[in-house]
Amino acid sequence: MFTGIIQSAGEVRKVEHRSNDLRLHIALGDLDDTIRTGDSIAVNGLCLTAIARPSPLLVVDVSRESLDRSCIGDWNAGTAVNLEKALTLSTPLGGHLVSGHVDGIGVLESIEKVARSQKLIFSVAATLGKYIAEKGSITVDGISLTVNEVVDRKSGTQGPRCLFAVNIVPHTLSNTTMTLYQTGRKVHIEVDLLARYLERLMSTVGEKNKSSIDLELLKRSGFLA
């Protein structure tokens, strides 16, 4: 588990194509002395395992499943990445609970300067957008952010899309890869854990020997207004 609070900016130094998947060599920056072989680390929001530590590099394998759900196949030597160590019981939960399991790909549609911050608008497939709520949490390339606005679009060149906006403060811009973002960029999206589990629970309502959770129970329990 992670928090979505980026701890260091890293850089891909080498990409090895192995059979039908990849091995990456990543420079860890400020985390060089704190990662050991076998540790989990979020790389642009994707939970990966350190298989070797030839300091100052981290070596990780990327499975076919991870490649199919992420942008890693587009990476090459020089790609900047956000890094975060797995949380411990003593880690301040400054963001929100992040699993490091990427749900899908988003696209940066626009960037707008708002005072000293920037308003970024991303689009995702409608099938993913249904999990995104105004003032809810979302993870973009491993960064924990608050959704400020959600707009559903009925159509698009890639099918129905959902747009959501986030506000990026100067500190986040200067300490993450977001300072490099340009419109059209693809990003890793992880929706809030509760949204995924709630949908699964609701999908079993009415099935024999399944969950007895329904909308009325959720309202009584304070989950719905």
Do both 188 and 108 map to the same domain? Answer: yes
Note whether 115 and 183 are same-domain residues.
Answer: yes
Ranges of the chain with pLDDT below 70: 154-158, 204-215, 217-219, 221-225
Residue 16 lies in a domain: yes
Q: What is the pLDDT of residue 214?
A: 64
- One domain, residues 188 and 110: yes
Within this chain, do residues 139 and 200 fall inside the same structural domain, yes or no?
Answer: no
pLDDT of res. 223: 65
| Residues linked to residue 138 through DSSP beta bridges, in sequence order | 145, 191
**Is 1 a domain residue?**
no
123 and 136 fall within a common domain:
yes
Report the CATH number that the domain containing residue 36 is assigned in CATH: 2.40.30.20
Q: What is the pLDDT of residue 89?
A: 84
Question: CA-CA distances (angstroms) from residue 15 to 66, 73, 112, 139, 142?
Answer: 15, 10, 34, 25, 20
Whether residue 57 is contained in a domain is answered as yes
Q: If we measure between CA atoms, which residue out of 117, 113, 161, 167 comes closest to residue 138?
A: 167
Is residue 60, in this structure, part of any structural domain at all?
Answer: yes
Same domain? 200 vs 222: yes
Name the pTM for this structure. 0.86
Count of domains observed in the chain: 3
Residue 198: per-residue pLDDT: 80
- Neighbour-count burial of 112, counting CB atoms closer than 10 A to its CB (0-12 exposed, 13-18 middle, 19+ buried): exposed
Same domain, 214 and 183: no
With residues binned 3-state (H G I as helix, E B as strand, rest as coil), the percentages for the chain, rounded to 5, are 20, 40, 40
DSSP 8-class letter at 66 = H
* 96 domain-assigned: no
What is the rounded distance in angstroms from the CA atom of residue 165 to the CA atom of residue 31?
30
Residue 22 is assigned to a structural domain of this protein: yes
pLDDT, one tens digit per residue, over 132-178 is 999 999 999 999 999 999 998 766 666 789 999 999 999 999 999 99
Q: Looking at the structure, do residues 110 and 62 belong to the same domain, yes or no? A: no
Residue 97 lies in a domain: no
Q: Which domain holds residue 64?
A: 8-85
185 plus 117 within the same structural domain: yes
The overall average pLDDT reported for the chain is 90
Asked, for residue 178, whether it belongs to a domain, the answer is yes
pLDDT at position 93: 83
Q: Determine the distance from the C-alpha atom of residue 74 to the mean position of all C-alpha atoms in its chain, rounded to a whole number.
A: 16
